[in-house]
Amino acid sequence: MDAQTVVAIIGLLERDAIAVWIDGGWGVDALVGRELREHDDLDLVAELRHSKRIVELLNGLGYELVDGRAPKSFVLVDAPGRQVDVHPVAFDVEGGGVYEMRDGNTWTYPGQGFTGRGTVAGRPVRCLSPEVQLLVHAGYELTDKDYEELRILREELSA
């Protein structure tokens, strides 16, 4: 998943008035304004109500739904193997994004998490805030790349 593909996907969704926030590795890269490593996927947080349209639009770019479906996370992959992982949320009255996990539990992205801004290939994008990126990374078993991303985020936060 290269930067030009990320920008093309974000642009396509935004032209259809669908706001998305970049999460995961590309979210960290967007926050620091540079690509830190190669990525095989793009993690997006989007409003649940746009899920069907997101699938339709990405189908138009050659992506096929291969796993999951709204209201839970879903994954689309294109022929070269680039993956888009969508985490649909329903916003609550406090502005938090309530996400239904595959195990049936819910997790809420704090409202301040949706204030993140960054750049990918020089293009301004929405992304989860640094604080929420740190929080999200605490939700699963970390790999070496995750530890490196967390180190860089902490450096950026303290700068």
Domains and CATH numbers, the chain: 3-158 (3.30.460.40)
Q: How confident is the model at residue 133 (pLDDT cuts 50, 70, 90)?
A: confident
CA distance 159 to 156: 5
**Percent of the chain, pLDDT > 90?**
70
- Contact status, residue 111 vs residue 96, Cβ threshold 8 Å: yes
Segment 65-84 shows an average pLDDT of 96
CA distance 23 to 116: 10
CA distance 21 to 97: 11
Write out pLDDT tens, residues 24-64: 889 999 998 988 889 999 999 999 999 999 999 999 999 99
CA distance 10 to 80: 19
Q: Is 78 exposed, middle or buried (0-12, 13-18, 19+ CB in 10 A)?
A: middle
Q: Which residues contact 18 (CB under 8 A, 6 or more apart)?
A: 46, 47, 50, 53, 54, 57
Q: What is the mean pLDDT of the chain?
A: 91
Q: Which residues contact 159 (CB under 8 A, 6 or more apart)?
A: none
Q: What integer pLDDT is reported at residue 131 of this predicted model?
A: 84
